[in-house]
């Protein structure tokens, strides 16, 4: 418990001083893999790529058509000649044409066939420019990590993913290819999960036999899988097994250094696929007493826990508000610009200023003073995006305690439904909250005494399908001093 708390403390601190969380170095370029917004941009890149290749193919087709047409004329003449070559060649014009054809035309055709067509090259020249917009190997690595997280959180096996089966969310048309499996196998070596790597290699080989590839392509792809597999075995000094894959005598194999890249990924200890929500004796009610405004517009409130005090508000933010927020250029720009790579939270976030109306809403929901509260933070989780177990409080020592105090409460608005996955879980109190557009979760991170509440440990499960947008507001302790009682070692809300 202590170590988790400590890690989360570092995480929060990093967030506070605007450093990437976790222990990695700041990476300026944002990864595509963890954000839906960035993935959508990739669709444009693919559009460009397809358009250019199509234009290239059109030009090649014209060339082909021209060659084919000339071939027809040539072969007709050739056949004619062969049917009665004595008569044909007896005509001096024909013999001249034959000599000329073979001397000049073939050379011309040969040159034409080999010449790279200038027009076609225009399209191919775009490829290097496009490279800047293509995903990098880091992006691919993060995407692999996303899939890997899904697998461990939801206990999925390679053959389920290959068949497009994601923890009961079945999409066979999104099945993985043999190359995808190979990439995931190589990634599994990197993260030292060698059994998983072998499982991916096996799946890749099985997939290859299903794909209708030409023999050459099949052989080439098989060889790539076997080479990677062989290298893995060589690394483990299993030279005889390795030789079966690499097709070499074991004595010829020298164990090469395989560079291993260890990532101390911190995973949630509890499995996200379990349903933690215990039957509740708590209830739903209309809140019409927090502020004068809630008297005229009561809020739908469902209590989830008393320690920590936790409620969910339903329909507390309008669809129109959500839509305008998600469509605002401020939001999109901030997502793109404020890049950070985090091994702790695989998602993109940004700070949203000037959402006064929503801030008043939070005040109505909580009855708390919004002075000194932190700016809203908008997070977008894409493929496998998740946030490992953490606390939201900083747990400052007294000397370090900020003027505004610690994060007393968290309000988490869900800005959309998630097709599958992406729940917020509180494993210690067995609470799971499924994102629902327009609802907001409120909980207190501190006891009334000001002590941190360790039961608030929480995490965001990986998104299996779709994307997740949440807006977080952290409300600080100090401005509440005249409205919230400070009860030494007591929790006002506990049962
Ligand atoms: O996205 C979630 O469900 C949780 C987010 C969270 O814990 C945070 O922003 O501190
Ligand atoms: Fe959190």
Ranges in the chain, pLDDT < 50: 1-30, 255-271, 275-276, 334, 336-344, 353, 490-495
Question: Has domain 156-252 been given CATH number 1.25.40.10?
Answer: yes
Going from the C-alpha of 36 to that of each of 146, 312, 341, 347, 442, the distances in angstroms are: 13, 26, 15, 9, 26
Query: Which residue's alpha carbon is nearest to atom 4 within ligand 1?
Result: 460
Contact between residue 473 and residue 392 where contact means Cβ atoms under 8 Å apart: no
Q: What is the structure's pLDDT at 131? A: 67
From the CA of 422, give the closest atom in ligand 1.
3
CB 308 within 8 A of CB 428: no
Residue that has been written with the tokens 């105090």 in this structure: 405
CA of 431 to the centre of ligand 1 (A): 14
Confidence at residue 78, expressed as pLDDT on a 0 to 100 scale: 80
191 lines ligand 1 (CB under 6 A): no
What does the pLDDT read at residue 434? 93
Which residues are 381's β-sheet partners? 468
User: What is the model's pLDDT at position 9?
Assistant: 29
DSSP characters over 284-319: EEEE--SSHHHHHSPEEEEEEEETTEEEEEES-S-H
Question: Is 455 close to ligand 1, i.e. is its CB under 6 Å away?
Answer: no
Cβ pair 426, 457 in contact under 8 A: yes
> Ligand 2: distance of its center to the CA of 348 in Å?
14
Residue 50 CA to ligand 1 centre (angstroms): 38
Secondary-structure breakdown of the chain: helix, strand, coil percentages, each rounded to the nearest 5 = 50, 15, 35
CA of 355 to the centre of ligand 1 (A): 19
What DSSP designation does 252 have? G
354: left (phi over 0), alpha (psi -120 to 50) or beta: left
Confidence at residue 409, expressed as pLDDT on a 0 to 100 scale: 94
Half-sphere exposure of 127 (CA within 13 A, CB side): 10
Ligand 1 contact via 457 beta carbon (within 6 Å): no
Q: Which strands make up the sheet holding 407-414, listed edge to edge?
A: 284-287, 299-306, 309-314, 440-444, 407-414, 468-476, 376-381, 348-352
Q: How far apart are CA 308 and CA 328, in angstroms?
A: 35
pTM value surpassing 0.90: no
pLDDT at 24: 31
- CA separation, residue 88 to residues 82, 99, 101 (Å): 8, 13, 15
Which pLDDT does position 175 carry in this prediction? 76
Ligand 1 center–CA 8 separation, angstroms: 13
Q: Which-ligand-closest: CA of 423?
A: 1
ipTM of the complex: 0.98
Which protein residues have a CB closer than 5 Å to ligand 2 (ion)? 392
Ligand 1 pocket, residue 406 CB under 6 Å: no
239 lines ligand 1 (CB under 6 A): no
Residue 361's closest CA among 468, 285, 482, 471?
471
Q: Whose CA is nearest to atom 10 of ligand 1?
A: 392
CATH class of 2-25+274-480: mainly beta
């Amino acid at each position: 418990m202590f170590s988790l708390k400590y890690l989360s403390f570092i995480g929060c601190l990093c967030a506070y001083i605007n450093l990437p969380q976790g222990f990695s170095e700041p990476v300026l370029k944002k990864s595509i893999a963890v954000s839906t917004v960035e993935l959508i941009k990739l669709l444009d890149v693919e559009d460009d790529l397809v358009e250019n290749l199509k234009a290239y193919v059109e030009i090649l087709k014209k060339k082909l058509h021209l060659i084919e047409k000339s071939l027809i004329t040539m072969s007709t003449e050739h056949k004619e000649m062969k049917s009665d070559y004595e008569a044909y060649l007896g005509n001096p014009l024909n013999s001249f044409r034959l000599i000329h054809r073979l001397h000049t035309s073939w050379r011309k055709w040969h040159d034409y066939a080999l010449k790279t067509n200038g027009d076609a090259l225009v399209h191919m020249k775009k490829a290097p420019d496009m490279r800047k917009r293509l995903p990098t190997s880091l992006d691919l690595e993060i995407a692999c990590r996303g899939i890997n997280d899904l697998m461990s959180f939801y206990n999925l096996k390679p053959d389920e993913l290959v068949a497009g089966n994601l923890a009961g969310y079945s999409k066979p048309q999104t099945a993985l290819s043999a190359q995808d499996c190979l990439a995931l196998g190589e990634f599994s070596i990197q993260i030292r999960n060698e059994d998983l790597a072998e499982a991916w290699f096996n799946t890749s080989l099985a997939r290859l036999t299903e794909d209708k590839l030409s023999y050459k392509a099949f052989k080439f792809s098989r060889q790539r899988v076997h080479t990677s597999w062989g290298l893995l075995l060589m690394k483990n000094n299993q030279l005889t097994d390795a030789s079966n894959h690499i097709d070499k005598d074991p004595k010829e194999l020298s164990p090469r250094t395989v560079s291993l890249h260890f990532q101390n990924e911190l995973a949630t200890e509890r499995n996200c696929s379990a349903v933690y929500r215990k039957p509740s004796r708590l209830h739903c009610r209309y809140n019409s007493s927090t502020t004068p405004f809630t008297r005229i517009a009561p809020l739908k409130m469902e209590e989830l826990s008393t320690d920590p005090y936790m409620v969910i508000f339903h329909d507390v933010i309008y669809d129109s508000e959500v839509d305008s927020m998600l469509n605002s250029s401020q939001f999109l720009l901030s997502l793109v610009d404020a890049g950070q790579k985090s091994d702790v939270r695989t998602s993109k976030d940004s700070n949203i200023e000037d959402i006064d109306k929503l801030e008043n809403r939070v005040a109505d929901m909580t009855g708390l003073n919004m002075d000194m509260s932190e700016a809203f933070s908008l997070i977008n989780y894409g493929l496998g995006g998740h946030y490992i177990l953490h606390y939201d409080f900083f747990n400052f020592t007294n000397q370090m305690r900020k003027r505004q105090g610690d994060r007393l409460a968290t309000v988490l608005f869900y800005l959309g439904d998630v097709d599958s996955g992406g729940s917020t879980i509180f494993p210690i109190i067995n609470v799971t909250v499924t994102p629902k557009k327009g609802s907001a979760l409120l909980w207190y991170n501190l006891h009334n005494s000001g002590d941190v509440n360790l039961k608030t440990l929480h995490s965001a499960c990986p998104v299996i399908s779709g994307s997740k947008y949440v807006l977080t507001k952290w409300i600080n302790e100090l401005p509440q001093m005249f409205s919230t009682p400070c009860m030494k070692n007591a929790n006002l809300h506990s049962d």
